[in-house]
Structure 1
Amino acid sequence: MKNLNLKYSLLIIFVHSFLWGSTPIYSSTFTGRVSLDPEIRHGVLSNGLTYYIKDAEDGSSKIDMRLVVKAGSALLDPDQYELQHVLEHVAFKAGKHMTMGKANSLGLKLGEINGNTSFNFVQYYIKSTYTQEKRDIAFQLFQDIIWDLEIKEEYVDSERSVINNELAHRGRFRASAVINGLESGMIGRSPETPKDIVGYINSFSIDPLKRYYKDWYRPDLMAIVVVGDMDDVDEMEKEIKLKFSRDKPIKNPRSAIIDYSNYRNLPPQFISLEHPYLIENSKSRTVYLRLNLRQKTTLNEDGLEILKNEQQRKLLIEMLGDRLIENQDAYNTNFNVISRFIHPPELGLQLNFTIEGGSEKMVLMKTMQTLRQLRTTGFTKEEFKEGKKKLIGYLSKTDTTKIPYWADNILSHFVYDIILPPHRMTLLEEIVTNLTFEEFNRFIATYLKTDPDDIDIIVLAPPRHRMLSYSEKTFRNWISEANELSVAPYSKLKTPKELIKPSTLANLQESAIQKISLPLPGTKEYLFGNGVRVVLKTLDTIFNQNTKQQNSIRFHGFTSAGVRCYPQEDYFSALNSAEIVRNSGVGGLNKFELKKYLDSKDFKGSISPYIEYDEAGIRGSVSLEDLETALQLVYLYFTSPNSDSLAFEDWKLKATSSLVLKSINKDDFRTRIRTILGDYTYLPKGTKALEGVTKTDMDRAFTIFNKIFGNAGDFTFIFTGNFPENKVLALSQKYLGNLPIKIDEMSCNHLTTKRVTLPKPLKTSMPSTGYMQEAKVQLGYISALNTEDLNWKKEAKLKLLQFLMNFSIMQEMRFNSEEGGSYNISVWLNLQKSRVFNEVIVDFSCSKEDADRLIKVVKQFVESFNNNTIDAELLDEYKNTAIRFLELEKNEKNAISEKLYDYYKLGRPWHSIEEEQEYIKSLLGEDLRNMARRLLNVSPFQFKMLSAKAVQ
């Protein structure tokens, strides 16, 4: 590293020698300052602004740039609720020289510029700056945010409805956000939430916003972070010094140090609140309970002790989570307990409960007994060993070559003073490896509080719920009662020793196998004696030990049997059958026993059977080491699915739980639209799905599942990834080659594919099912589907058209709009293989007052887009992006698997990625304009969902 004074250079050499010499990296002596990784260029300018530069050298030519402000919601004054977020929005419009709209018009794409806020920071980031021109744009945007924001009424007014829309979009009116707001106000990390959030956002004065900018957007609280594959770190440092050394005098600067001592010294807190955002007679009966096990003293952490305690906290959360899950591992219980640390973590441990069914006292007492058991006896050596193994495995697999790894860790170094020494992940591995059982149990005892006076309690319940009638004394008495019960020694539940009995394994016969002589390029195809077809496609990726990533395999087995094969009375039994089986387990092991077995094998993969409208199958993604276990699971799903009435009742309980109501409005909106359009291929969600639970028969569900999966001769399995073909073929032959077959063929005559007569375009408004702050709007440009619309060339053009429309509509209706209205407006195309018509959909949400105005704006935009020439420069930009994506897909297992699926399941002609790249290169603006004219030259369907009161 250059430009270090002699003293600091000697310190770096000393620390580096101490940490990385012949002695182990880890030392039991943790005190003392630890140097920043010398591969990070770091400095502080004369005006106080900090900079970090890290050359990631990943060969991508991408450079990500961030401006971090060490000030978030925790520094807001009482009259500034949410204004750190408002300023983050306004900053992209109010720059004197550069705005987001201007940056996008100069070549940056949607999603490359963004920002976010937290309790302790605000950050603005620009991704993938491939060129110097883009980096100049980024730096100019950052300069304006630091020195030259023109905070005007018109900019603020244009973002008011957008902010409200985003709050609704991101769930600010859901229970979790409400309880977070209650906690934040209690701790003192943000102002009290207004009773009328929408009204407040629509009417706050601009003066507090200007004051927030003046107080906290100061160079001494800011950092420029540049991470990526750059040619010259010295030049980047010179550029930062040149562009960001300007002074910004601040009279009487306020302290940005956040003091939580007041919260620590408060008596135990109690808050009980009726959920303010539920409609009358809501189906939601969930009680949300939060316990903060408060730390009244601050841990004195220094040097490597900070890293050690960070890892011990991660280990505690993981191991405590496993203990708490054991309390939940039973059918027909409807509660969840999740542990995490309060923010900031030195304030203590937090337990989050969601409870239904009237078991609140039992759940609370049982959880407190678990904590008391741990305080008394600690974790077992076996738990500690397993916990360390998992954590070390996670640390060892962390890819330290990626840009986000460095950018996120640098942000933590600047904002939270988390040390970032050389070879950080290797150091963390050694710290965890050397952590002893005794010191860990001593450490966790400081966080596990069971005294009622050490615990803050927050309750959020539906209107008129009996939990709201309980006093603080009642809750604390429950906790005291749990403390008085005797504590039994912990006894871990037994873990099954095997998935498949040895006698069954011994009887698996080697299947006959036939190699197909006309496979696709780079693909091998085999037909087993039972009719199962296996396709192997190995990719050219080379296993890179430096990134510590395991070889991974994706497999997909499928058949054309599906829901359509059954009469209407069996519709929901067929649709839900795979989920019912997953909830019941396989091979005589229930789902809890199955999970314990897989955890004991450190199985990290996913295996999922499914049944859809015109298809059923099973998908899996695993490491090579887990492939045999995965194929054993596949074998059991086909041969030994459990039929369990208790598990079935549990599935019904979970499928109708209040927790599934979180997306009820979105699901109902989409389902009602598809019903109006007559799209019989769409599988219902929301209220229709809830009603379908009562129409699901357990016996019919298992009969249907066994019928479909009992005839493996109809299945094709596609394997893609980086693997030795002989091993995968041998395991497939052993397990897939022994799957059952039946002589009687599936009959799919009940719901055969049919033509849809599209209704005439219409306008309709529908009421929401649950509480909804915003209006949902969808405009659908829908036309007849021709056979030629289902080829890959048309789909390549459709994707480009979608990119262009998305960019243009966001520019016009979001970034350059003077009136604003919608946080996220998007254009999407229905590219489902089973679609029954062409669809170009414009989706957005907004206030009900803005809905009709924005519908007109969308229609005008589509008409203009349909008539105007495609911007050649923008088209080239997105063509190049699409070509880069395709280049990555050459060795991307999911993308290749999907192409093989199109060939084997849908009979689509095979084409190479190189062909697709060449085709995209050849496309002209006129090609897309002709497609747009064909698809958009129709009157749109207009759908709105409004709150039930608004519709009335």
Structure 2
Amino acid sequence: MKDIKKRRRYKRGHKVLIPLILYFFIFAVYNSTAQSVLPVPLDPDMRYGQLANGLTYYIKALPGSKEGVSMRLVHKVGSNDEREDEGDFAHAIEHLAFQSTKSFPLGIENDERFNSSGFGNYKVNASSGRRNTTYKFNIGEPSPEGLKLGFLWFKEIIQNLTLTKEDIESTRGEVREEYLGKVGTQLAYSIASSKMYSRIFPCEESEEGLLDHYDYFSPEKIRKFYEAWYHPKLMALIIVGNIHDPVDVEKQVRSTFSIKPSKGLSVRPQNCDSLYFEKAPQFVIVERKIDSNKLIQDKSAEGHLIFRLPEFQPRLESIDRATKTFYLKMMLDILNERLREGSEKYEMKRPLIYDLYTQDLPSAMEIVFSFKNGAGKETVKKIAKVYHQLQKYGILESEFIKAKEKLLFKLDWLKEDQPEYWLQEIDSHFIRGEVLPAQKKLNILKYVDDLKMKNLNNFIKEHLVKSPEDIGFIAPAGHEALSFKEGEVRFWFVDALDENIKPYKNTEVKTLLSNEEVKSLEAVKFIDKGIEDFGAEKIILTNGVEVVILPTSSNDPVSQHRINLHGFRIGGAKFLTEDDYWSALNASQIVSNSGVNGLTNFEVNRILRHQNILAGAVAPYIDNAEHGIYGSAKPENLETILQLVYLFFTRPNMNKLAFENWKSEKIDWYLKSSADLYAADFNEARRRDLGDKNLQNSHNRRHLPAGTLGILSLEETDYEKSFNIFRRFFGDAEGFTFLITGDFEIDEILPLVLKYLGNLPGPNLHKMPTENKNSTFPEGSTFQELSNKGNLNMPNISYGTSFIIKPEDFYDWKERMKIEVLGEVVRQKMWDLRFKKGYGLYDVSARGQMNYNLRRYEIHTYLFCQPKDFERLQEEIRQIYSDIIMGEISEEELSGAREMVEYFNFSEKAIRLGTKINGLYHHYRFNYPWTDIGRMSSFTKELNREDIVEVAKKYLEGENFHEYVIKGN
């Protein structure tokens, strides 16, 4: 299912003993009068208790943890506990906890004690959902002062939020903008979806009227909600990490939090699970409103089949509950795979399956599917056939093995020396009643590893015998789904039993190349050009392909043993006629969707899945001025990746049905995606007005325009032209440069490189153009109101500013780092508009960067604001620039800016996502100097206020300044 609550922030002995062990180890058993956990022993290394006022605490020491200390205050109240006129109050109070309190009159993040330890040492955050609200205080370098400060903030949350009128008014705008930011252009769908779910699940709320509620709810009502629900009995304090003296910390907890509540607890959380399972089966149809002004309309309907699983409630006294949980996960995974396989055709949409328990809903399985007008009956019956086939014939051994491997991988993803593992487990213990004894994870892994296929098949036969209890449809006016009758839909599902359902057969996993084809490709000779100063080895193959290989090492377990590849050559859409422009840019996606070597895209992806390689691991592209191909894999999968690279050059498919499917998928994504289309449309319009027609490059991939411009491009894209352009650009490889980085030895990968890259076609039959250095600098300061090309219903205004700057020296990497830090300083100050000045903003963005293609510096900002705030925010942004030029940069802002630049460029995650291979690319593509990452990191850390003010005075000039706005039609 899509996020039902889009406005919510969401940010695991002896064989005969294992079932009994798991019964006690996984789920708490509740007595008949209270929710207190029976004495199933907790991990003996954990300190646990309950104060006289009802507050529960957990302390788990992880000696030597490099992640400091993580503290949580978990409140067992969320949106499930809101009444009709209290919509989003639990979420609003979560925001208000960052506003004024008795001990933090300016808010925790503006308190001198919070900031005096140095930026980044203390970090606070919070989230709210259906069952609970969680407040987070993390300490990077453990200290007594950090513990005391975190304890004080949590204590304030429990009983000392001031909830002033000014704070509530500010928060009113924040939560409103967060909701709009998350639903994006899907407001009508989100409202319809919430109406459907509110009629199925007793504790769900309809979002109809929510925007008005945000504007007009009474401050007194939210104060009463806080007074009623914020009581120690409903709360738990969790402390996990590098704790030197747990006994002393426990004493501090008892002395700090032994507070007397101002009054007793007068409310009780609803048992939403029981209310749901006691409710009669539901059949719900909701009409989705259509914005008739929108560029294109979503005319499809969405169906929901929900199968209740009351036996999987976490609080039932059943030994079966423990042992069946893992069977359920495997069954859902196998059913999901079969539904995927059944829809692997260019004219079909894939149904999705969800375990609703993982979304804090009552335990149930949901299948969600979309269908065109007239296809409802056929779609339901296709799903029912897959469902009944699994129930009738069971699973195959290959499916069982794969599902078990996936489950074991998920269960073992977080390690017991990681704070996040314990935070999740303790949270489940307190909120859901799942118990947490010693060696829980070890016993679970042993049990899952010992699961038998026969038992899983018996489980499937037992649990797939029924039809869905709850059925829902969301459809636009005029769609057949609005007239469906409950009896006929339920009959469609049952009627599939009477049809001839044959046993499931494994879909054949083909090979990219046959054994004979692989043998026919011989490793070619090469010219060794030596080793660069920075350690990269450069070779030239006989077909004119240049290969640069840079082995790297990493301490990041995700980065270790991974290889990144990027091949590129000058020549792109700008060198073609204007009529061919979009056919060229879209060509790579069209070919990727068509497949290679006679294999469909679905067959190629099946080969990749079989080897645990993500779809899209190899991605060709044609940009404005260059074309190329990306690849990423583990060393054991490198040959598969190189085979796919070879086939894109030599044997791309031409498939008209795949082309039509590609267009349909693009439109479907545009209509149904919750991505921020407002920002996408704004950024594309701004970039093009500033003379930048290159594709955006992030996470080591090129991205076609995601918003309305991408949809408009479909009419300008010709199928045959796209294929012929792709063949022209990739039909030979002379002049290509391939960059390869990763955790490997050169001798290990060189034979495969010579075999596959060495046999790419050449010499160059279609000479590629020589690129002229293209620099674009718009003249003078400008203000432009851009067109709302998609006729999107915009409740807010998109507003942004840009500085376009000509570098004094394009090759000066130190100046580039200063520009990046300057951009982050701007972003730090923009957040103050929300957190210090009270503007109703959910998200803001600012970035300083080098645009290598256009050889210029850029500083961009963007925000999505209420119309009433626009003119004031326009002045606020201008004032931010003036303040920076005048040197008004706090140490907190500068430290935060440096830390963010460090994270985006030099962290293990940044390196994993392509810092090193991008550095190689900039060096070989733009002749930009190669600079050691450690050297750049050290330089960035030492930048001071004077350095940033200097570049601000140099570049933040009026003639470089441009403003843009998009308003609703």
Q: TM-score if structure 2 supplies the norm length?
A: 0.88
Pair 752,704 (structure 1): closer, same or farther in 2 beyond 3 Å: farther
Structure 2 unaligned blocks of 5 or more: 1-11, 26-39, 696-703
**Which amino acid letter does the alignment assign opposite residue 162 of structure 1?**
E
Alignment of 1:533-682 (within 5 A): 533-541=546-554, 551-604=561-614, 606-657=617-668, 659-660=670-671, 662=673, 663-681=676-694
**Structure-2 separation of matches of 1:110 and 1:702:** 54
Q: Deviations over 1:594-626 (max 9, x none)?
A: 222233334357222222222222222211221
1:670, distance to aligned residue in structure 2 (A): 2.2
Residue in structure 2 matched with residue 718 of structure 1 by the alignment: 739
Q: Distance in 2 between matches of 1:884 and 1:341?
A: 35
How many Å separate the matches in 2 of 1:866 and 1:359? 62
Aligned length: 921
Structure 2 CA distance for aligned equivalents of residues 390 and 890 of structure 1? 24
Q: Which moved more, 1:433-442 or 1:184-193?
A: 184-193
Change in 2 beyond 3 A, CA 1:562/1:884: closer
Q: Does 1:489 align with 2:500?
A: no
The more displaced of 180-189 and 194-203 is: 180-189
Note the C-alpha offset of 1:511.
1.2
Over the matched positions of the two proteins, sequence identity in percent amounts to: 26
Matched, 1:816 2:828: no
Q: CA deviation at 1:397?
A: 4.8
Q: Using a 3 Å threshold, how does the CA distance of structure 1 residues 265 and 305 change in structure 2: closer, same or farther?
A: closer
Question: What residue number does 1:169 align with?
Answer: 181
The 3 A distance-change label for structure 1 pair 645 and 891 is closer
Alpha-carbon deviation of 1:824?
1.5
| 2:342 alignment partner in structure 1 | 327
Instruction: Flag the 1:598–1:884 CA change in 2: closer, same or farther, 3 A.
Output: closer
Aligned-residue offset at 1:252 = 4.6
Deviation at 1:109, TM superposition (A): 5.2
Does residue 690 of structure 1 match 2:690? no
1:512 maps to which residue?
A: 525
- Work out whether residues 570 and 768 of structure 2, in 8 Å CA contact, stay in contact via their aligned partners in 1: no
- Which of the residues 292, 303, 306 maps onto 1:289? 303
> Which residue of the partner structure matches residue 9 of structure 1?
none
Cα deviations across residues 551-602 of structure 1 (Å, max 9, x unaligned)? 2222222222322232212111111111111111112211122222233334
Whichever residue aligns with residue 329 of structure 1, its letter is E
- Select the residue among 316, 320, 324 that pairs with 1:309: 324
Partner in structure 2 of residue 6 of structure 1: none
The equivalent of 1:96 in structure 2 is 102
Q: Deviations over 1:312-336 (max 9, x none)?
A: 2321221111111122110122454
Query: 2:4 aligns to what?
Result: none
Alpha-carbon distance change, 724 to 421 in structure 1, aligned in 2, over 3 angstroms: farther
1: CA distance between counterparts of 2:717 and 2:787?
27
Q: Would the alpha carbon gap of residues 197 and 346 (structure 1) be closer, same or farther in structure 2, given more than 3 Å must change?
A: closer
Partner of 1:5: none
**Structure 1 counterpart of 2:955, from 935, 938, 946:** 935
Per-residue CA deviations over 1:177-221 (Å, capped at 9, x if unaligned) read 335523542344545325321111111112332232223222122
CA-to-aligned-CA distance 1:759-798 (integer Å, 9 cap, x gap): 6412415446255453233232323423525532122112
- Provide Cα deviations, 1:729-771, integer angstroms capped at 9, x if missing partner: 2221222222222233533379983645446412415446255
Q: Secondary structure at the match of 1:163?
A: helix
In the aligned structure 2, how far is the partner of 1:41 from the partner of 1:183? 44
Counterpart of 1:917?
937
Name whichever of 558-567 and 898-907 sits farther off. Answer: 558-567
Match of 2:88 among 78, 82, 93: 82
- In structure 1, what is the equivalent of residue 397 of structure 2? 381
Comparing 518-527 and 172-181, the one that deviates more = 172-181
Work out the CA distance in 2 between the residues paired with 1:542 and 1:298: 40
SS at 2:758's partner residue? helix
**Residue 155 in structure 1 maps to residue 175 in structure 2:** no
Deviates further, 141-150 or 880-889: 880-889
Does 1:414 find its partner at 2:424? no
* Residues 175 and 842 in structure 2, CA contact (< 8 A), matched pair in contact too: yes
Out of 879, 882, 905, the residue aligned to residue 863 of structure 1 is 882
SS of the equivalent of 1:247 reads coil
Residues 558 and 615, structure 1, Cα contact 8 Å, conserved in 2: yes
Contact 2:567 2:736 in 1 (8 A): yes
* Counterpart in the other structure of 1:432: 448
Paired with 1:373 and 1:838, the residues of 2 have a C-alpha distance of: 60
Q: Does the C-alpha gap of structure 1 residues 835 and 83 become closer, same or farther in structure 2, counting only changes over 3 Å?
A: farther
* CA distance in structure 2 between the aligned counterparts of 1:115 and 1:783, rounded to whole angstroms: 37
Structure 1 stretch 882-891 or stretch 198-207: which is displaced more?
882-891
Is the Cα contact below 8 Å between 2:312 and 2:325 reproduced in 1? no
SS in 2 for 1:112: strand
Q: Which moved more, 1:926-935 or 1:227-236?
A: 227-236
Counterpart residue type for residue 576 of structure 1: N
Paired position in structure 2 for 1:800: 821
Q: Quote how far apart the aligned CAs of 1:907 are.
A: 1.0
- In the other structure, the counterpart of 1:13 is none
TM-score (norm. length: structure 1)? 0.90
Q: Specify the alignment match of 1:10 in structure 2.
A: none
Question: 2-side partners of 1:765 and 1:707: how far apart?
Answer: 36
- Supply the distance in 1 between the matched residues of 2:810 and 2:203 (Cα, whole angstroms): 53
Give the whole-Å Cα distance in 2 for the aligned partners of 1:110 and 1:762.
41
Distance 1:128 1:306, change over 3 A: farther
Which of 380, 391, 405 matches 1:364? 380
Matches within 5 A, 1:202-221: 202-221=215-234
Q: Which of the numbers 480, 486, 490 marks the counterpart of 1:476?
A: 490
1:298, CA displacement in angstroms?
6.0
Instruction: Note if contact 1:307-1:419 (Cα within 8 Å) is conserved in structure 2.
Output: no
How far did residue 40 of structure 1 move?
A: 3.5
Specify whether residues 61 and 338 from structure 1 end up closer, same or farther in structure 2 by C-alpha distance, changes over 3 A only: closer
CA deviations over 1:863-895 (Å, ceiling 9, x no partner):
223323332464356546756876645993422
Distance in 1, matches of 2:122 and 2:172, equals 21
SS for the counterpart of 1:490 is coil
The question of whether the paired residues in 2 share the 8 Å contact of 1:334 and 1:654 is answered with no
AA partner of residue 330 (structure 2): L
2: CA distance, partners of 1:907 / 1:845:
38
For 1:911 and 1:800, the matched residues in 2 are separated by 18
Other-structure match for 1:143? 155
Deviation of the 1:25 alpha carbon: 8.3
Q: 1:240 to 1:770 in 2, by over 3 A?
A: farther
SS of residue in 2 equivalent to 1:762: strand
Q: What letter matches 2:690 in structure 1? A: L
SS class of match (1:637): helix
Name the CA shift for 1:687/1:540 in 2 (closer, same or farther; >3 Å).
Answer: closer
Kindly tell me: are residues 62 and 527 of structure 1, through their superposed partners in 2, closer, same or farther at Cα, counting changes over 3 Å? farther
Distance 1:542 1:816, change over 3 A: closer
Distance in 2 (alpha carbons) for counterparts of 1:668 and 1:883: 29
Q: Which amino acid aligns with 1:911?
A: T
**Other structure's SS at 1:514 match:** strand
Q: Secondary structure at the match of 2:347?
A: coil
Q: Which residue of 2 aligns with 1:37?
A: 43
- Pairwise CA distance, 1:42: 2.9
Alpha-carbon distance between aligned partners in 2 of 1:891 and 1:57, rounded to the nearest angstrom: 28
1:247 aligns with 2:260: yes
The aligned counterpart of 2:251 is 238
Once residues 887 and 658 of structure 1 are traced to their aligned partners in structure 2, the CA distance between those partners, rounded to angstroms, is 33
Equivalent in 777, 795, 798 of residue 777 of structure 1:
798
Structure 2 equivalent of residue 7 of structure 1? none
Aligned to 1:114: 125
Alignment correspondent of 1:524: 537
Residue 334 to residue 528, structure 1, CA distance change in 2 (3 Å): same
Q: Counterpart in 1 of 2:9?
A: none
